[in-house]
Amino acid sequence: MRVAFLMAPEGVEQVELTEPWQAVIDDGGEPVLLSTKPGRVQAFNHLNKADTFPVDRTVDDTTAEDFDALVLPGGVANPDLLRMNPQAVAFVRQFFDLAKPVAAICHAPWTLVEAEVVRGRTLTSWPSLRTDIRNAGATWVDEEVKVDQSAPGTLITSRKPGDLKAFCATFIQEFRG
């Protein structure tokens, strides 16, 4: 299982990258770090700089067809920067066009809203995104993890770092299915 992890060059919440990444490895999968620019991604622990991680590929030199699934880690700045990048938004939309599973946590659904792939779906997120998600035509719920299997494809969402254990277990199970 080859899983794309898409993030902006900075602003990703480190634990929302590292725990899902490790879950993919532990399941025998291959995580691939994608960004909008080559080099390294600057992660954060909330508002403080944390570690950096090497970019494997950019969204300009790959497509969703190269992967089995997509993980969108959160952080406030990360999805805000991604949703302003047309190539990143198109890359996310490709997963839905191909009915491939997508997992998003915390603020990451902002990118899904921009990609116009949430209408008619039920999902969760960090609570401050509730109105944005509803305005995009989706139903927002306050749950640890939500699996929406509306066509096209499966969408797995969680609210926050405290939900990571359930998020990782659920997306691994759904990605295998």
Report the catalytic residues: 107
- Euclidean distance between CA atoms 145 and 165, whole angstroms: 10
- Euclidean distance between CA atoms 163 and 92, whole angstroms: 23
Q: Which residues contact 136 (CB under 8 A, 6 or more apart)?
A: 113, 116, 118, 119
Rg (CA), the chain: 14
